[in-house]
């Protein structure tokens, strides 16, 4: 009996709670997605991403934002570029709750983002790519959706120039 209880304790501490308490924004803050959070605030998307959802967010790391060409992020964060920043951020959001198990079944498919343009899902060996970005962590559960962490900032087709 002691061994079974010990296993339950270990598993319960290793598995996230099924009903996550924090929404997407609060989870991003807690997980130290500093650049993403700053961009969400600058684009006035905090209330949207704290909404009911559900949303699936492909969240770029701070390192992903650092890979953008020099001056790009600083320019996007300026008030006069809010519409462009908002479009880029919404290109990282899909309506609905799309866990990793579902993403794996979408190989070769296009998924429409909240921004309006689709992202391509591709499985290459053990890697999952969302357009040009590699998924590096999956299924960060939130109270209003799920976050998948990516290593590259996605740019909508009109912004790739």
List pLDDT tens digits, range 59-116: 999 999 999 999 999 999 999 999 999 999 999 999 999 999 999 999 999 999 999 9
Hey, where are the domains in the chain?
Answer: 21-156
Average pLDDT over residues 147-161: 86
Structure tokens at 8: 């339950």
Helix (H) or strand (E) holding 134: strand 133-142
**Residues written for the chain:** 161
Averaged pLDDT score across all residues of the chain: 87
pLDDT band, residue 26 (cuts 50/70/90): very high
The dihedrals phi and psi of 12, each to the nearest 5 degrees, come to: -65, -30
pLDDT for 161 beyond 50: no
List pLDDT tens digits, range 126-153: 999 999 899 999 999 999 999 999 999 9
Say which residues have a Cβ less than 8 Å from residue 159's Cβ, sequence separation at least 6: 84, 87, 88
Average pLDDT over residues 22-41: 94
What CATH number should be reported for the domain whose range is 21-156?
Answer: 2.30.180.10
Q: What is the pLDDT of residue 159?
A: 57
In terms of C-beta density within 10 A (0-12 exposed, 13-18 middle, 19 or more buried), how is residue 64 classed? buried
pLDDT for 2 beyond 90: no
Say which residues have a Cβ less than 8 Å from residue 87's Cβ, sequence separation at least 6: 115, 156, 159
The dihedrals phi and psi of 94, each to the nearest 5 degrees, come to: -120, 135
């Amino acid at each position: 009996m002691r061994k079974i209880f010990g296993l339950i304790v270990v598993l319960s501490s290793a598995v996230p709670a099924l009903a996550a308490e924090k929404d997407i924004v609060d989870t991003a803050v807690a997980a130290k997605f500093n650049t993403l959070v700053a961009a969400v605030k600058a684009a006035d998307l905090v209330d949207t991403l704290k909404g009911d959802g559900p949303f699936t967010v492909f969240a770029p790391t701070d390192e992903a934002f650092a890979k953008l060409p020099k001056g790009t992020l600083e320019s996007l964060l300026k008030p006069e570029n809010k519409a462009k920043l908002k479009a880029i951020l919404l290109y990282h959001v899909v309506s609905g709750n799309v866990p990793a198990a579902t993403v794996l079944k979408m190989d070769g498919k296009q998924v429409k983002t909240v921004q309006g343009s689709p992202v391509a899902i591709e499985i290459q060996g053990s890697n999952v790519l969302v357009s040009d970005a590699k998924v590096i962590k999956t299924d960060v559960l939130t109270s209003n959706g799920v976050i998948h962490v990516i290593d590259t900032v996605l740019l909508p087709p009109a912004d790739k120039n």
